[in-house]
Amino acid sequence: MSKKPVRVAVTGAAGQIGYALLFRIASGEMLGKDQPVILQLLEIPDEKAQNALKGVIMELEDCAFPLLAGIEAHSDPMTAFKDTDYALLVGARPRGPGMERADLLAANAQIFTAQGKALNAVASRNVKVLVVGNPANTNAYIAMKSAPDLKPGNFTAMLRLDHNRAASQIAAKIGCAVGDIQKLAVWGNHSPTMYADYRFATVNGKSVKDTINDQVWNKDVFLPTVGKRGAAIIAARGLSSAASAANAAIDHMRDWALGTNGQWVTMGIPSQGWYGIPKDVMFGFPVTCENGEYKVVEGLEIDAFSQECIDKTLAELEGEKDGVKHLL
């Protein structure tokens, strides 16, 4: 018997990430090739954006995806999030050349108070929320705090693009396939302060750290390359990453919903005090997922260099949190 459709809300649906995301969700790449979906698409109440959304919907229809059980266009989060099981909050302003993601806080924060409140009012009580819009960690924190009747742990921020970027850089350095790398972690904020940590990673069962054996490369090449990759893409394309961001969103939601078979992935989640990170800080941690739940990989040793990196990214997040206190 075929499964009952689930409701997937996507905001910023006519934007560049939306365009790289919706067709993959509708084809079953996010929730499985046997899971029908109803797309609930939100765009701003502006004629141009709503027209663009209509065009995207026409294209979705023209794909004749067997798993696409319905498509709705919305301009109000209160209707877009009705009964939604999954919410991908993409809609927000992207940064341009010369900006840091934190510069977007003033422009984007209010979107996430309104959307958190709407999720609180009308979404499924088990809704799984992924915030992609930047600055993703703090926006996810704002949405979580604006939705007091939902489980805080169901609000997450996207660190998966950083995780995938780190895996790709390591694979290129070692000369192995990305799929051979396991047990990678990215701690903290989706910003240049993030700490991509390969001390526990393995390549075909061997230690990545021992194989690379180059702390100078780690500190002076690897970490800045991963941390500043978003800016490098903006400089090259004139636009921020879209297909790779959409791909990371698919990876994040798929792994959360369907499980990781014991493999580590990185998710931005509200801390429960793990590794000394204060409660509720939306922080990147290594997790495994099973039965629709994530579980932090605990008990990892944090050496002095790692602690310094973790403290730096935590301080940045605490600063962003302070900057939005008035909204909560």
Ligand X SMILES: NC(=O)c1ccc[n+]([C@@H]2O[C@H](COP(=O)([O-])OP(=O)(O)OC[C@H]3O[C@@H](n4cnc5c(N)ncnc54)[C@H](O)[C@@H]3O)[C@@H](O)[C@H]2O)c1
Can you say which residues are annotated as belonging to the binding site?
12-18, 95, 101, 108, 115, 132-134, 165
Residue 116 touches which member of ligand LMR, ligand X, none, C-beta under 5-8 Å by kind = none
Tell me how far apart the alpha carbons of residues 21 and 43 are, in angstroms, rounded to a whole number.
Answer: 15
Q: List the catalytic residue out of 74, 163, 190, 252.
A: 190
Q: Which of residues 67 and 245 has its CB atom nearest to ligand X in the complex? A: 245
Q: Which residues bind ligand X (CB under 6 A)?
A: 11-12, 14-18, 42-44, 49, 90-95, 111, 132-134, 136, 158, 161, 190, 240-242, 245
Tell me how far apart the alpha carbons of residues 192 and 40 are, in angstroms, rounded to a whole number.
Answer: 33
Number of residues forming the site for ligand LMR (CB under 6 A): 11
Cβ(40)–Cβ(80) under 8 Å?
Answer: yes
Cβ(157)–Cβ(140) under 8 Å?
Answer: yes
190 is catalytic: yes
DSSP tag of 193: T
DSSP tag of 66: T
Sequence-distant (≥ 6) Cβ neighbours of residue 315 within 8 angstroms: none
Dihedral (CA of 130, 135, 137, 138) sign? negative
Q: Does 300 bind ligand LMR (CB under 6 A)?
A: no
Q: How far is the CB of 153 from ligand LMR (least distance, A)?
A: 23
DSSP tag of 178: G
Pick the binder of ligand LMR from 138, 241, 266, 271 (CB under 6 A): 241
Segment interacting with ligand LMR (CB under 6 A) among 65-73, 144-152, 237-245, 262-270: 237-245
Helix (H) or strand (E) holding 99: none
Q: Does 161 bind ligand LMR (CB under 6 A)?
A: yes
Q: Which of residues 36 and 141 has its CB atom nearest to ligand X in the complex? A: 141
Task: Tally Cβ neighbours within 10 Å of residue 308.
Answer: 11
Closest CA to 12 of 72, 92, 86, 85: 92
Q: Which of residues 69 and 136 has its CB atom nearest to ligand X in the complex? A: 136
Helix (H) or strand (E) holding 196: strand 195-197
Residue 233 touches which member of ligand X, ligand LMR, none, C-beta under 5-8 Å by kind = ligand LMR
Residue 208 touches which member of ligand LMR, ligand X, none, C-beta under 5-8 Å by kind = none
Q: Does 321 bind ligand LMR (CB under 6 A)?
A: no
- Tokens for 203? 């390549």
What φ, ψ does residue 75 adopt, rounded to 5°?
-125, 5
Pick the binder of ligand LMR from 101, 128, 145, 321 (CB under 6 A): 101
Q: Which of residues 110 and 215 has its CB atom nearest to ligand X in the complex? A: 110
Q: Which of residues 93 and 209 has its CB atom nearest to ligand LMR in the complex? A: 93
Query: At residue 138, what is the residue type?
Result: T
Q: How far is the CB of 307 from ligand X (least distance, A)?
A: 25
Tell me how far apart the alpha carbons of residues 278 and 257 are, in angstroms, rounded to a whole number.
Answer: 26
- Residues in contact with ligand LMR by CB under 6 A are 94-95, 101, 134, 161, 230-231, 233, 240-241, 245
Query: What is the set of active-site residues?
Result: 190
